[in-house]
Structure 1
Amino acid sequence: MIFPSINSKIILFFLIISSALIILSIILIIQIFPSVIRNEIYKNVQLVEGSEQYERFLELPFPVTFKVYFFNVENSVDVVNGEKPVLKEVGPYIYKQYRKKTVLYTDEKEDTVSYTQTENFEFDNEASGNFSDEDYVTMLNAPMMSILQIAEKYGQTSVLSSCLSDIFPEFDSVFVKVKVKDILFDGIRFCVRHFSLCELRRTIACKIAERKKNVDILTDGALQFSFFNYKVNSNDGLYTIKRGINDVKTLGQIVRLNNSTRTHYWKQSNANSSCDEVKGTDSTLYPPQISKDSIFQIYSTDICRYIEIQFLKEEFYKGVKGYTFATNNLTLRASTTLKEEDCFCTEQTKGVNGEDTCFLDGVIDMQPCTGVPVLLSFPHFLWADEFYSEGVIGLNSNEENHRTFLKVEPETGTPLQGMKRIQINSVLRPINKIKQTEKLPRVVLPLLWIEEGVSLTNKYVKKLEDMYFNKVTLLNILKWTLLAGSIIITSCLGAYLIYKRVNKM
């Protein structure tokens, strides 16, 4: 006999048991195991005090990469005489940016945590290669041009015209040659106190300048300008964000900034405008279970607004599947087609013709945010109106290199790689009654662009695998083994019963 003689009732009993195991396996596959994995993910990503996620939230275990690219003005003398600027991109000058959060209080009922964040920078000689922060670059005299444009707004340029060398004793020209470390962090001095016939005019100009966030007041009363030292000197505000304990889908969402849901920087002509809304994340935390339909807002206090990123493509990062979300050609467009309803059109910085203006697509006036006449765009005027790139020589925009993006593991919401990229620009034009500027071309001049980002290290890719992928693999082996085993047993028992019935006939 092929099969041994076994009581049919016993076989039927075990057949029922094995069939139940198939049903149980299906339930485990469809409902139980996914729920176990999901709960394990939630437990690992929520901001629970004392957890590993909480400690990473307080202080990133590795530095953020902060890259600066300068647009060196190759023909500065010719530009002063009316020629189109010829630019050469120089860099990157790479810094390690260390971020540390200080939690001030937690609201368990609201499920929020409130904190401030400080940043420190360290020049990375090795990563910068042949570039040193001791290098010199030729660029626009940003503090002087800012003071002149602000003075022009109040009709005070004639008062300053003969006193520029007194206000800027070391550099009173339109373009200056400065050290990288000085223009970025260490500062360039101006408004040095001394007795002169220009003392009153200098005092007025310097009182205006000292209130700007890019300007430090030194112990001897002089002022010092740098692009980014303000990041080191103070925190960027009080954040209140969701911990994701009551609802994990809200993890990392900013509820308030400085105890307010709006910033009041931008024009409020449109009651339904979202320009002043505080929302999104600070780019460090994202909820799990991300889909391709998700849209993220990233809020930045550097630009006093949020930007949206949308799904672009699916790609792998160090063997881990990720969803890439990115900015696009609509990101820095006007918020409405009507000038009077565009809340980003504040007309605070005058355009290239010296008129009040809304800047064209791809360029945003940052004066409401920064207090000085600077303009924001994506690097190399990516997606901006051609008027801007045609005004200078040497730009070459590229979506891959110049867009802002986030690559995230969709199940856990873990950021795999992310880069914020912005360009700082200034209007270059003749300033009324300022002789040094009377022949300047009328263009928007790129000064520098920065790339601020994180790429998950091998160590933390391994942690992600241990936290999620290895457990998923183990459960997959278990569930398919259980299902396959129960199917095989059921099939064998069923075949035996059929065999018994056939032989009785």
Structure 2
Amino acid sequence: MGCCNRSNGLLAGAVFGAVVAFLGGILIPVGNRIIKGTVEKEAVVEPGTTAYDTWVSAGANVYRQFWFFDVTNADEVLQNGTIPVVVQKGPYTYRTRYLPKENITFNPNETASFLLPLGAIFEPSMSVGPEEDNVTSLNLAVAGAYSIVPEQLLEIMIKLSKSSLFQHRTVKELLWGYTDPMLKGTVGLFAPYNGTYDGYYTVYTGKNNISKVGIIDRWKGNRSLDFWDDKYCNMINGTDASSFHPFVDKKEALYFFSSDICRSVSAGFKEIKDLKGIEVYRYTLLPSTLAAPNDNPDNACFCKNLKTTKNCTLAGVLDISSCQGGKPIYISLPHFLYGSPSLRENVLGLNPNEDHHYTFLDVEPTTGFTFRFAKRIQVNMMYGPSKHITVLKKVKDYTIFPIVWLNETAALDDETADMFKTELISRIEMLDITQKALLGTGVSIFVLCLIAYAVDRSFRNRIF
């Protein structure tokens, strides 16, 4: 009777182990579905969700750091046609994106519309000096009028106002505006800024299709741009880069639109990074983003001027004059990173460094939220030779001149990181541990009981 009881007990143990293992196996898909459903629900842009509060107002402090290119040989350039030499000066730091979205309206087609207010507050503690620091830079008015005003008229305007190709201005003036003696109006790289708006934006909330959450449906009321003479280049693709759909796959490209550069771009996965104990996927702009059309045919429609772009063979710059009222403004990565060598031969003192000058997004793959980013852009203007304009008579070739580069950056703060790890990561890890423990324990009990049962049966057969 004892042997029978032992055998029955071992069989019961094997059944129990199988049941435990089965529960562990069942818990894996069930648990994953629970996690997926919860994340997708909280990622929808609507009042009451986790995503909503961060969407309305940036959760982390966003800063714009500016580095100016100070010209050290302005007189030699004017008098002898010497190649300009610049020295980087900065950073001068401003807090931005501190104002919440305004005029938020939820639409029947599962979209939300809003205005994005713009503002900048100077941060002295994060800057090398005050806003009143002086910089010798390209004359924004002269360079801006060069491609618009007839040469003979521009020469008269320059002489009457006693302007020149270069000027001495404060950081504050160059960024946010000053009254120019030649144009008799306000001139500045970002003027007007404070008190203005970007948008209207209309974006998908993801309510019934989470894969579309955050994707821009319209900008300024339009589904496409009108800056470029091509349907492809005028496309508005992706989100604003602050977030993407949940459960990001590192194999996919992430698309986003930036009004700063008047176009959409894509970023590719580079590596996995650790951010305050949270695993994030780092995405970067590819070198092909600003490649010359002969290397990347998709960029052909971004080439606007055959002369200044050397028949569209110049890499590393984007002519955005069509969305800047005709002003000859060119966007690049800092120090002409990934740009044609001629860009750095026409202006000396530039030292591109990928670690310091590339743009990246650190995206948490489960939620799709961007937890850290660095958007790095250089603002350049163009001037060239002239037979009629005195200050340009010594210029030998068209020059795309660097004025300032900026790094707009933000990162997840410690408090939010701890909350995220507690509310999501720790629960996922606990569920994963429970799944594995049940599955492992159940299989172990099942196997051990079966082995013991087989040994017991063999022993009994030998005895009887």
User: What TM-score do the two structures reach when normalised by structure 1?
Assistant: 0.84
Structure 1 residue 80, shift from structure 2 partner: 1.0
Query: 1: CA distance between counterparts of 2:386 and 2:425?
Result: 61
1:332 matched to 2:287? The reply is no
Q: How does 1:75-474 map to 2 (within 5 A)?
A: 75-81=73-79, 82-97=81-96, 98-108=98-108, 110-128=109-127, 130-152=128-150, 157-164=151-158, 166=160, 168=161, 172-185=163-176, 187-190=177-180, 206=183, 223-268=185-230, 273-335=231-293, 342-347=300-305, 351=308, 358=312, 360-371=314-325, 372-442=327-397, 443-474=399-430
Q: How does 1:51-62 map to 2 (within 5 A)?
A: 51-62=49-60
Deviations 1:87-110 (A, max 9, x none): 1011111111124212432134x3
Secondary structure of the equivalent of 1:162? helix
Check the 8 A contact 1:79/1:441 in 2, yes or no. Answer: no
1:387 maps to a residue whose letter is: S
Give identity over the alignment, percent: 27
Query: 1: CA distance between counterparts of 2:226 and 2:7?
Result: 81
- The 1:4–1:180 alpha-carbon spacing in structure 2 relative to 1, beyond 3 Å, is farther
- The 1:385–1:365 alpha-carbon spacing in structure 2 relative to 1, beyond 3 Å, is same
Deviations 1:136-164 (A, max 9, x none): 10001112221233102xxxx32343333
Structure 1 residue 78, shift from structure 2 partner: 0.7
1:419 maps to a residue whose letter is: A
Unaligned runs of 5+ in 1: 192-201, 207-221
2:163 maps to a residue whose letter is: D
Query: 1: CA distance between counterparts of 2:166 and 2:259?
Result: 29
Secondary structure of the equivalent of 1:15? helix
- The 1:323–1:484 alpha-carbon spacing in structure 2 relative to 1, beyond 3 Å, is same
Query: 2: CA distance between counterparts of 1:160 and 1:388?
Result: 26
> Which stretch has the larger CA shift, 174-183 or 49-58?
49-58
Query: Match for residue 39 of structure 2?
Result: 41
The higher-RCO structure (CA 8 Å, 6+ apart) is: 2
Deviations 1:71-93 (A, max 9, x none): 10011111112110011011111
Structure 1 residue 9, shift from structure 2 partner: 4.8
Unaligned runs of 5+ in 2: none
Structure 1 residue 112, shift from structure 2 partner: 1.5
- The 1:335–1:460 alpha-carbon spacing in structure 2 relative to 1, beyond 3 Å, is farther
Structure 1 residue 38, shift from structure 2 partner: 1.7
> Which stretch has the larger CA shift, 13-22 or 405-414?
13-22
Deviations 1:261-304 (A, max 9, x none): 21111013xxxx41000111111111121122111122111221
Query: Match for residue 195 of structure 1?
Result: none
Query: 2: CA distance between counterparts of 1:357 and 1:432?
Result: 23
Deviations 1:210-237 (A, max 9, x none): xxxxxxxxxxxx5211112333232122
Secondary structure of the equivalent of 1:411? coil
Query: 1: CA distance between counterparts of 2:226 and 2:174?
Result: 30
Check the 8 A contact 2:202/2:218 in 1, yes or no. Answer: yes
Check the 8 A contact 2:118/2:198 in 1, yes or no. Answer: no
Query: 1: CA distance between counterparts of 2:303 and 2:91?
Result: 32
Query: 1: CA distance between counterparts of 2:425 and 2:126?
Result: 32
Report how many aligned residue pairs link the two structures: 457
Structure 1 residue 254, shift from structure 2 partner: 1.0
Check the 8 A contact 1:149/1:431 in 2, yes or no. Answer: no
Aligned CA-pair RMSD:
2.7
User: What TM-score do the two structures reach when normalised by structure 2?
Assistant: 0.90
Query: 2: CA distance between counterparts of 1:416 and 1:484?
Result: 35
1:351 maps to a residue whose letter is: T
Query: 1: CA distance between counterparts of 2:324 and 2:313?
Result: 17
Check the 8 A contact 1:84/1:441 in 2, yes or no. Answer: no
Query: 1: CA distance between counterparts of 2:308 and 2:440?
Result: 71
Secondary structure of the equivalent of 2:169? strand
1:498 maps to a residue whose letter is: A
Deviations 1:297-321 (A, max 9, x none): 2211122101211112222223322
Query: 2: CA distance between counterparts of 1:7 and 1:338?
Result: 75
Check the 8 A contact 2:145/2:154 in 1, yes or no. Answer: no
Query: Match for residue 28 of structure 1?
Result: 27
Deviations 1:194-253 (A, max 9, x none): xxxxxxxx8xxx5xxxxxxxxxxxxxxx52111123332321221111212212222211
